[in-house]
Structure 1
Amino acid sequence: MRIALVVGLNYYEHGGHLYGCVNDAHSVKAVLERNDGGSVNFDCRLLTGTGPTETVKRGQLKDQISELFKADAEIALFYFAGHGHIEATGGYLLTSEVSRGDEGVSLSEILTIANNSPAKNKIIILDSCHSGIAGTPPEVSQLASLSEGMTVLTASTKDQYASEENGRGVFTTLLVDALNGSAANLTGDVTPGSIYAHIDQSLGAWEQRPVFKTNVKKFVSLRNTAPAISIDDLRQIAILFPTPGFSFQLDPTFEPEMKGRDEGMPDPIENNTRIFSVLQKYNRLNLLVPDGATHMWNAAMESKACRLTALGEHYRRLVEKNRI
């Protein structure tokens, strides 16, 4: 069971309205609900504050967070987009009715609730100002308090503001992009770690900096997208390259094109051209490079070899150990 509580607040009774948070929440819900192929992923509950007749109050939000993390789920995920506040006593998520920052839901309370959850994986994603303080007790500024299975991903550090552009949160735009496949590995899995890497690389040094805190033995996949290469083709890597550092010898029989062949060159061999097609896929994904040639076509026509890159060797080991 995978469950997610997705919250977006634009409306605040005492001013300081936001404009992109509700849209962000809808986007996050939409991408989490289904995997790339249409299979069910997360069972999402959406809370939005759009105006005076649709608000999210402190008690309601706290109750929903408590219900989320009571579940004995594979993954319990909480996403919040809205105002945040920080002071000496810690950080807060602000709800629709608050008139001062410390009337919001305490991040320390949220972490306590999540830390005690029976869920195997607890994930908190915050697109709010000062959210980077989540998981850090105010009295011990260098200590992160996360139980096993907990991951926190925030839009900015505790001292920064979260930005909006074109009616969307900058952080959430990158988050949704990552979940849609930009942060997927070769098997199509998107993990919290790969999401953070995608967001971190997309933001410049002068922009808001995302914060990532985790206490896990292994990353869980939050969404599955279409893999960049079929699993069957990827598994062939350990057959074609049976040992570390192995060089695969090519010759003109691997290249299916007749154009450009010198007189006397052997014709293509069907089985070899099938293998060459897989090798070319590896090359496009930076798993493999030709040795002594600029392109795979040249390597074949000049009877050169090809070898795995460091990334290719990584996936070869995974296949060899039956991890893929």
Structure 2
Amino acid sequence: MNSRRALIVGISDYASAPCLSSCVDDAVAMAQRLERNEDETVNFRCQQLTSAGGGMVTAPMLRELLHAHLDQSFTGDTLLYFSGHGAATSLGAHILTYESSQYSPGISMRDLVDLANKSRARNVFIVLDCCYAGAAGNDEEVVGSFENEARLREGVTILAAARPRQGALEVAGHGVFTRLVLAALAGGAADIRGRVSTAGIYAYADAVLGALDQRPIYKSHTASLEPVRLCRPTVSDEELRRLPRIFREPKTRYTLAPSYEETFEDVAIPEHVALFKVFKRLQTAGLLRCEIGLDLYWIAARSQMVELTPLGQLYWELANAGQI
């Protein structure tokens, strides 16, 4: 049984609030991206709730599904995604549902986070693309409060599209934040092992958005960075595990020779050529560098040396300790 499930919500149609253009498309694209890893293995089992075709997503309907996804019987990983209107009133910050009004605004962000905190899920990932999304997880969720402190139990992470007192925008068919999250999940935020974490997604979005754009918010209480999606790695785990066998110590230098370059057909040795290709991947991943800054081809041609970068030395240590 798959131990990962997601509730993906996109609300474009509202009875009173202005209708939005991209929220349903946001939800559909997010579900498609999360359902499988890049190698097509199953990732999250996604349930979608959208206003497609004029559907009315009401607060009771959404609340029932939230309770189902965060019930006490589920101990795997769960992800909650919302694209739609957000509001902050005297009642606190809310995600708005179809029938929302001033005094009945929808689902309280406080209630949403309380459900996540009380659930038995190993990890709860909350992704909110709406105005005022950064208020989720704060002790005080009322606009105008400056001294807010996030209260999350271990395993809960919030990725919010904007600050607690900031709007979230739509551009070219998607929410600005969702577009970045989709790109990050497609590999833009993957580490060298192909893992896309919430911290990586936030770093990707933070780097892309300019100082005057809406600013994403990241709140997390985790002991480890569990990947949200797996992409194809730059360097395989098998190759990383070989590092201590190739380099005796983290700072050991390795001398190449013309026999490592396959274009030198008269002296090339198949085992050396295979290792040289591994070195190329290590260099692309930022784990290996040439001692004097030349291309690997010339390092081999001149029988010069390569060495691990500080990041490469870290992965050497991990491999040597049996942690890869």
Normalising to structure 1: TM-score of the pair?
Answer: 0.93
For the residues of structure 2 that align with 1:103 and 1:283, how far apart are their CA atoms?
53
Q: What pairs with 1:75-94 in structure 2 (closer than 5 Å)?
A: 75-94=77-96
Does the CA-based 8 Å contact 1:68-1:76 persist in structure 2? yes
- Is 2:282 aligned against 1:282? yes
Task: Give unpaired runs (5+ residues) of structure 2.
Answer: none
User: Which structure 1 segments of 5+ residues have no match?
Assistant: 260-265
1:47 Cα deviation from its structure 2 partner: 0.5
Question: Matched residue pairs, number?
Answer: 317
Q: CA deviation at 1:72?
A: 1.6
Using the TM superposition, give the Cα deviation of residue 231 of structure 1 relative to its aligned residue in structure 2, in angstroms. Answer: 2.7
Distance 2:291 2:105 in 1: 64
Contact in 2 for aligned 1:33/1:44 (Cα 8 Å) = yes
Query: Which residue, 185, 193, 208 being the options, matches 2:214?
Result: 208
**Matching of residues 1-324 of structure 1 within 5 Å:** 1-50=3-52, 53-70=54-71, 71-100=73-102, 102-138=104-140, 141-258=147-264, 267-324=267-324
- Report the CA distance between 1:105 and its aligned residue: 0.8
State how far apart, in whole Å, the 1-side matches of 2:68 and 2:275 are. 53
CA distance in 2, matches of 1:291, 1:181: 30
Provide runs of 4+ in structure 1 moved above 4 Å.
Answer: none
Cα RMSD between the aligned structures? 1.7
TM-score, normalized by length of structure 2? 0.93
Deviation at 1:13, TM superposition (A): 0.8
State the percentage of identical aligned residues.
34
Q: Deviations over 1:172-207 (max 9, x none)?
A: 111111111111122221111111111111111111
Deviations 1:262-290 (A, max 9, x none): xxxx8222222221111111112211111
Q: How far apart are residue 293 of structure 1 and its match?
A: 4.1
Distance 1:293 1:10 in 2: 53
SS at match of 1:79: strand
